[in-house]
Structure formats: structure tokens, C-alpha cells
A and B are shown apart, each in its own frame.
Chain A
Amino acid sequence: DAKTTQPPSMDCAEGRAANLPCNHSTISGNEYVYWYRQIHSQGPQYIIHGLKNNETNEMASLIITEDRKSSTLILPHATLRDTAVYYCIVRVAYNNNDMRFGAGTRLTVKP
């Protein structure tokens, strides 16, 4: 049911930027892109979301392509604590908590 495709795993050096891609080619006009991460089977943690403009908060930046068919989550200075599974989710604005998770990307930050 997930409408997104992500690489299964990625590595990143500590202190460098981690760029996590996500394809959502069937996204509809009213659907938002959300990113969550999950560490050690804890509850997923909200990171950021956007509709069509690029977004930035204290955790990350979200770059959405102009056609909205793909996006990239950027962790500007990855630390070892950023090692986690990152989920990209397409979510209809009003259908608030019905989030269809895919397999996500396992990011490993290495010293």
C-alpha cells in the first residue's frame, strides 16, 4: 500500500551530510510528504513534512522536486545517533493518521 520507494540501506560518515532519497511518482496534488525515523524499535519519531515547497527545521531539510515525484531528506551533519530506519510517507492532508509505511532506508552513520 505504500506509495513510496526508498533504497533499503545507506551509509554516511559522521559529520557529513546524509541525503536520503524517496520516489513518490504517483503522488496526488493534496498529498503531503512526511518523514519519520525509528531507532531500535522505539516509536517512530517525526522529522519533517512538506507539500511542494522545500522545508527546513532544526532536525533536517526536505527538498521536493518541482513535479513532486521525488524528494530528498537532508541531515546536514550526521551523528552516530542519527543511525536509524528512515521512512518516507505520502499522506493525504485530511486523512491524518492513516500512514502507509514502506520498508524505509536503514541509515548507518559511521565514525
Chain B
Amino acid sequence: KAGVTQTPRYLIKTRGQQVTLSCSPISGHRSVSWYQQTPGQGLQFLFEYFSETQRNKGNFPGRFSGRQFSNSRSEMNVSTLELGDSALYLCASSQGTANTEAFFGQGTRLTVV
């Protein structure tokens, strides 16, 4: 079955703009989480959505937001982009129940200039 699909794979935006990234989870998975990866900070948890509700949230400013649709697809939005938002954004999907693994997509490489 198909894996986790993230679009677009690469994106270049200008400081001050906003951006929307998309994640399609594995069929049947109800949980989608988002992570930011930078060379300096490593992999950091942004937030998790389960059945269209945000279940957990990491320590990121309000400029970072997300949502999940009824088909479990998820989007994350970053407003007022800063140079420091340049990163690899990864999403992970899982069944959302105890003792199950999460599967990651290939990520979206965002560059803010």
C-alpha cells in the first residue's frame, strides 16, 4: 500500500510570506504528526492531529498551525515566514492507538530567502 505522501517536495518562499504544506497519510491511519528538522535543532515535534483534532502540540510559536480533514489528510501552515523557518518538514502517520509505530514521509524542504 502507498506510503506517506508529502507535497510539495521542495519550496522556496520569501520572508514574510506564508506557506501551506500537505501530508497524505497511509490509508487507514488517523493520526498525523508534523516535525521540523534543522541542522542546529535536529528533529522537533510541531503538533499531532487525530480524527481532525489537535491532540498534542510542541513548543513552536503560533505562526505554525495545522489542520486535519475528514479523510485524515493534513496540512500545516506557516505564516509570516522567517529565515529561520528554512528546514525539512516531515509528517508521520500512524493508526493513533497504543503501541503502534509511526511512518514518515520524505519531507518538504522549505527554503526562506
Contacts and interface: CB of A to CB of B under 8 A. Distances in A.
A44 B98 contact: no
A95 B94 CA distance: 11
Contacts, number: 72
Contacts of B21: none
How would you classify the secondary structure of chain B's contact residues: helix, strand, loop or mixed?
strand
Contact of B107 (A32, A43, A94, A102): A43
Interface string A74-111: 00000000000001000001111111111110000000
Nearest to B88: A41
Interface residues of B, number: 31
A32 to B, nearest CB: 7
A49 interface: yes
B104 A45 contact: yes
B93 to A, nearest CB: 8
Nearest to B97: A96
B100 A96 contact: yes
Contacts of B33: 96-99
Contacts of B88: 41
Interface of A: 1, 32, 34, 36, 41-46, 49, 51, 87, 93-104
